[in-house]
Chains A and B, each alone.
Chain A
Amino acid sequence: MKRRDALRSLALLTGGLVLVPSCDFSEEEILSAYDRLKVSSSMRELLGQITDTIIPSGNLKGASDLDIQDFILVMVNDCMDEDAQKSFMKGFNSFDAYSKDKKGKKFSDLERMEKEEVVQTGLHEESEDKNDLRGFLGTTKRFTIQGFLLSEYMQTEVKSYSLIPGDYQGEVLIESLKKEKLNG
C-alpha cells in the first residue's frame, strides 16, 4: 500500500506520468498508479479526450482542464470490483476500434461533433456485444460529471461550497429562488 500511495502522489503531481515497464512486451509503458488496470499514457490521453467530449472547456474549465481522467482511473482502480474493472477495460480497449467502425477514424482524429456522436451512440448501444463498451462509456460519463462537479475548481472558484447549509426552511416557493445562471 505504501508504495502504491507514493506512486499515486507522484502520479498526481506529474499528471499521472509515472511510468514503469509493462510486463506484456508491448512497446508502451503502463501507468503504475492504477495497479489494477493496465492503462498506458496514451490511453490516459484518450480517456482525457472522452471526458473533454462529455464536458468541454468553454467559459468555464472543462473536464480535461481538471484532469478528470485521473479521478476516473482512481475510482475504477480503487472502488470497483474486479469484474467491473475487467468490463471497463474491455470497453476501453475496444473504444478506438468502435470509433473507426462508426467514423472511419480513431477518436483523436475526429472533429468535436463527430466525437460527441461516437460517445452518444456508444452510450445508447443496445446489442449484447456492446455491453462492455456501453458500460465503459456510462462509467466514464458518470465519473466525469461527479469529478467535475466535486472538483476543487468547482467547489472553490465557481460554486463556493459551504459546509454550513443555513437554517432549514420547509416551505420555499420555487419561483422565489434567485436564479443566477452559470454560463458554461
Chain B
Amino acid sequence: MANFNIDAKEDRTYQAIVIGSGISGSWAAKELCEHGVKTLVLERGKDVKHIKDYPTTNMLPYEFEHRGQITEDVRKENPVVSRCYAFREDAQHFFVKDQEHPYVQEKPFDWIRGYQVGGKSLLWARQVQRWSDFDFEGPARDGFAVDWPIRYKDLASWYSHVEKFAGVSGNKDGLPNLPDGEFLPGYPLNVVEKHFQAQMKKHYGDSRHMILARCAHINGNFDYYAQQGRAKCQSRNLCQRGCPFGGYFSANSSTLPWAEKTGNMTLRPDSVVHSIIYDEEKGKATGVRVVDRLSKEMEEFYADVIFVNAAALNTNLILMNSTSSRFPDGLGNDSGVLGKYVAFHNYRAGVSADHEGHLEYTTQGGRPTSGYFPRFRNVLSQETDFLRGYAAGFSASRGPYADQSGIGMELKENILNPDKWGPWRIGSHMMGETIPKESNYVALDPNLKDEWGIPQLKVNVDYDDNDEKMIKDYLEQMTEMFDKAGFTNIRTRDDHRAPGLDIHEMGGVRMGKDPKTSMLNADNQLHAVPNVYVTDGASMTSTATQNPSLTYMAFAARAAHHAMKNR
C-alpha cells in the first residue's frame, strides 16, 4: 500500500541496463558507471559478494567430507556439469546443476553455466591471449563465415585498457600472431619447459614457439591493484572457490565493486531476463522484461541503452525470445542469422609424455599458469588440408611420490616420507579453432519451457571434418615435437568430448559489415536496433584459438564508450 511510487515508471527507468554480471557485463557496467551513467545490472542468479560469499575459500583438504570428490548422487543427477574439470566438492555451488535450467540437446552439447553475480568469471581458467590480424582476417582470407568488421588496430587500445585494470601477467614475446600487451611480470617456466623451448628453437627456428601463457593474475604494480582491494596472487591454485586476495580477475573482486563505488550501479540479482521490449513507434528498444527467479513475477525496467551480456547462448536465447511485429523472428533478426554460425573451441585431444633428463631437478611452490603454443598452423598462408589451426597448452611437472606397495609400518614410513622420483611428466592439450557454420545453431524449442516460462534452448552443434583433420594434425605434430625434444613414452588421446565442455561457445549474434548477413555492426550494436549492444561470446564472427574472455572484455569496454559518445 505504501509503495505506490515503486511502481512508477520513472523509478524503473535507468540510463543503461546491462543484462548479465559476468566477465563482459561487469566490464560494460564498470565503464558506464565510472562515467556517470546510472546503470541497472541484471543477474539471473543469486548474489555473490567478494570474499563474504566464498564459503570454501579457506578450507583445508580434510574439511571436505569427500576430500574434494563429487558424490555419486550428484554425479548421477548432473551428468553434464559433472564432466567439467572444476565441478568438484569445493566449487560445485558456483555451477548450474543440470535440472536447474534444462535445455534440449539435439546433438550432445555440455552446456556449463554459472548463474550468480560474477557468473563464470569466478570459475574461468584465467588465460588471456590477444587476437591478432591473423585471426581477424581469417574468415575473409579463408572464405568462411563473414568478414570481421574490425581489425586488431580497432581493439588494441581496449585490450590495453582492460589488461591494465584486470592485471595480466606475461612476457613480451614479440610474436606477430600473439601481440604483446600491458604485462605484469611473468611467472617462471621450469627447467624442462626451458629445455623444450630451446629444442623448439633448434628444430623449428622461428616458425614455432612455446611461451609462457599470459594469465589474469596480479604479479606486480601492487599499489595500483590495492585501489581495487586486490593483492598479489598467492599461487594457491584454488581460484574456482573465489579468491580472498582478489589475486585473479573476477567481476566480483574487481569490476563490480569498482562500479558499485561510483554510486551509479544498481545490481539486481535473481532477475531472469525474459525479453527485450521493442517500441515500434520509437523504433528502438526501451527496456527489458524480468521474471523474478524466486517469486516468478514479471516486472519491466526501462533504459535508453541496453547491453546484452548474458553469456553466449543465453544472449541468443534472450534475443530470440524478444519478438514483436517488427521483429517476429527475434530482436534485430532481419538477416535470419540469429542463433546460427555458433562455434566453439575443439579441446578433444591431448598428448602426454615422459622426460628422462634433468633428473637432478624438481620444482617447488605454485604458479597460476603454464606454457602455451600460439597457433603455428596456416598462419602466414594455407599449408594443410584443413582450415585454420590450434593453440596448445604445455607443461612439465615433477614431484616426489611414495612407494605404496607395502603394508604396516613400512608403508606408513614410506607415505610420510615420499622419496621416489620418476621422470618428468609432460602434458599438452589442443585448443582448435572451429569454423562457424549455418548448420551449427541454437533455437527456441516450440513447446518446452523453463520454470520462468521462457522457452528452452535447443542446441544443435557438432564437430565436422575440418575438426577431425585438425585433431589428427595436432596429435602428429605434437608427437613429432615431443620426439624431437627427446621425450619418451609419448601417449596421444582423443577423449571425444561433446562440444560445450570447452566452455568457449561463441557466435549466433555475429558481427559483420552487412546487415543482410550479420546481426551486429563494428561497434557491437544490433544493425537494426542500435541502442542494443551485444559484447559477449555471442558477438563472435569466428573463434580464433585464443581463450576468448579477454576479447569480450575489450569489446564490452569499447562498446560502452561508444554508447556514451553517441548518447
Contact = CB atoms under 8 A, between A and B. Distances in A.
B187 interface: yes
A110 interface: no
Q: How large is the interface on A (under 10, 10 to 19, 20 to 34, 35 or more residues)?
A: 35 or more
Nearest to A74: B65
A155 B365 contact: no
Interface in A73-122: 74-75, 78-81, 112, 116, 119-120
Contacts of B237: 165
Interface string A143-156: 00111111110111
B402 to A, nearest CB: 9
B415 A149 contact: yes
A169 B58 contact: no
A166 B366 contact: yes
B417 A116 contact: no
A145 B408 contact: no
Contact of B191 (A56, A74, A170): A170
Interface stretch (B108-116, B127-135, B356-364): B356-364
Interface stretch (A23-31, A37-45, A172-180): A172-180
B404 A174 contact: no
Interface residues of B, number: 45
Q: Which of A80, A141, A145 has the most CB of B within 10 A?
A: A145
B421 A155 contact: no
A145 B404 contact: yes
A164 interface: yes
Contacts of A183: 413
Contacts of B234: 163-164
B67 interface: yes
A59 to B, nearest CB: 10
A168 B188 contact: yes
Contact of A166 (B62, B65, B70, B235): B235
Contacts of A166: 235, 364-366
B62 A79 contact: no
Contact of B407 (A58, A62, A119): A119
A155 B407 contact: no
Given A168-B187, A168-B365, A184-B416, A155 B71 contact: no
A81 B189 CA distance: 41
B467 interface: no
Given A54-B407, A120-B407, A168 B364 contact: yes
A182 interface: yes
B193 interface: yes
Interface in B414-457: 415-417, 419, 421
A78 B365 contact: no
A177 B362 CA distance: 10
A169 B71 contact: no
A19 to B, nearest CB: 22
Contacts of B191: 170-171
A174 B420 CA distance: 11
A106 to B, nearest CB: 19
A174 B62 CA distance: 28
B367 interface: yes
14 contacts: A116-B408, A149-B415, A150-B62, A158-B416, A163-B238, A166-B366, A168-B366, A168-B367, A170-B188, A170-B191, A172-B361, A173-B360, A174-B362, A183-B413
